């Protein structure tokens, strides 16, 4: 496309920065606005109505700042509210679930897939439904300990590896013995992908929904001609200091521009 686009990326917290990281790899010339609704996380414990309310308010904030596309980099918001969000905004909306399911369908030979995610995403069965629509059998497993371990920075800690062994042994023993793809259905999980690669069976390919979502955005927008890297500005609904500290772990670089906003005004 000839115009340099501004892509809005929304998450309830920090995990969506892994999606932003992949977007900046494949579309470095685009401008980005990231919104972390950190005052209201975790979304997983909230009702569908509440998740939709907060997500739509956040999307409107990004839209007011002139975005050309909205990426819902939050599995819970995608699972529970993407239709409501699409109806509420005027720009194209991409979620993280469908691209991950499509990538799994493209590479699976056994047509059996394992999905690891948070309790809320697993309870929604959004990945299972998306994969079944593509002709695949899905076994879902909630891995609630991964998020706090990642946020603690324990991405290569022996405790995290032990927890991963327990979760992966359970899913590949009990329900996904013949699965040949593992879908990471939470945006925190890409940070422990190298650890998971050591733990899951060698035959199993790992699909990172952050990568798949970035590829989907490229499919829609095409290349972005720009001689210089695009800009990045972040918004948070709670502590800017905490957002910078944790956000840098997920993005892999320093965060200079973070603005505190209130979506409940």
Q: Is the pLDDT of residue 60 over 80?
A: yes
Q: Is the pLDDT of residue 14 over 80?
A: yes
pLDDT value of residue 16 = 95
166-204 pLDDT, tens digit each:
999 999 987 788 999 999 999 999 999 999 999 999 999
Q: Is the pLDDT of residue 9 over 80?
A: yes
Supply the Cα-derived Rg of the chain in whole angstroms: 18
The alpha carbon dihedral of 224, 226, 231, 232 has a sign of positive
The mean predicted confidence, pLDDT, of the chain is 94
Q: Is domain 6-95+213-260 in CATH 1.10.10.60, yes or no?
A: no
- Catalytic: 143? no
pTM: 0.94
Q: Is the pLDDT of residue 224 over 80?
A: no
Is the separation of the CB atoms in 121 and 100 below 8 Å?
no
Residue 122 to residues 7, 44, 80, 171, 202: CA-CA distances in angstroms? 28, 10, 11, 13, 24
What confidence category does residue 227 fall into, taking pLDDT thresholds of 50, 70 and 90? confident
- The active-site residue, picked from 61, 143, 186, 234, is 186
- Catalytic: 234? no
> What percent of the chain clears pLDDT 90, i.e. is strictly above it?
86
**CA–CA separation, 36 vs 247, rounded Å?**
10
DSSP of 160-226, one letter per residue? HHHHHHHHHHHHHHHT-TT--EEEE-STTGGGGHHHHHHHS-TTPEEEEHHHHHHHHHHHHH-----
Averaged pLDDT for residues 40-61 = 93
Averaged pLDDT for residues 234-245 = 95
Averaged pLDDT for residues 66-76 = 96
* Domains of the chain by residue range: 6-95+213-260, 97-209
Please count the CA atoms within 13 angstroms of the CA of 169 that sit on its side-chain side.
6
Q: Which CATH class is domain 97-209?
A: alpha beta
Residue 112: strand, helix, or coil = strand
pLDDT value of residue 2 = 62
Q: Is the pLDDT of residue 5 over 90?
A: yes
Averaged pLDDT for residues 4-31 = 95
86-137 pLDDT, tens digit each:
999 999 999 999 999 999 999 999 999 999 999 989 999 999 999 999 999 9
- The active-site residue, picked from 61, 74, 143, 234, is 74
Q: Is the pLDDT of residue 42 over 90?
A: no
């Amino acid at each position: 496309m000839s115009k340099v686009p501004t892509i809005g990326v929304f998450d309830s917290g920090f995990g969506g920065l892994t999606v932003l990281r992949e977007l900046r790899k494949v579309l470095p010339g685009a401008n980005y606005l990231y919104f972390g609704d950190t005052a209201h996380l975790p979304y997983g414990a909230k009702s569908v109505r509440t998740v939709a309310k907060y997500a739509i308010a956040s999307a409107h904030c990004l839209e007011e700042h002139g975005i050309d596309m909205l990426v819902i980099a939050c599995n819970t918001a995608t699972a529970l509210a993407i239709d409501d969000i699409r109806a509420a905004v005027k720009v194209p909306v991409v979620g993280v679930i469908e691209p991950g399911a499509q990538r799994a369908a493209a590479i699976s030979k056994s047509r059996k897939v394992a999905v690891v995610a948070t309790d809320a995403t697993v309870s929604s069965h959004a990945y299972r439904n998306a994969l079944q629509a593509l002709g695949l059998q899905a076994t879902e497993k909630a891995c609630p300990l991964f998020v706090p371990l990642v946020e603690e920075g324990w991405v290569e800690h022996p405790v995290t590896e032990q927890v991963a062994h327990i979760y992966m042994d359970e899913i590949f023993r009990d329900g996904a013995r013949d699965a040949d793809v593992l879908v990471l259905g939470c945006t925190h999980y890409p940070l422990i992908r190298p650890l998971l690669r050591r733990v899951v069976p060698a035959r199993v390919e790992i699909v990172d929904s952050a990568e798949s979502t970035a590829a989907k955005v490229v499919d829609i927008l095409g290349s972005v001609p720009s001689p210089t890297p695009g800009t990045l500005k972040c918004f948070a609904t709670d502590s800017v200091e905490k957002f910078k500290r944790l956000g840098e772990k997920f993005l892999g670089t320093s965060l200079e521009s973070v603005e505190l906003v209130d979506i409940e005004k």
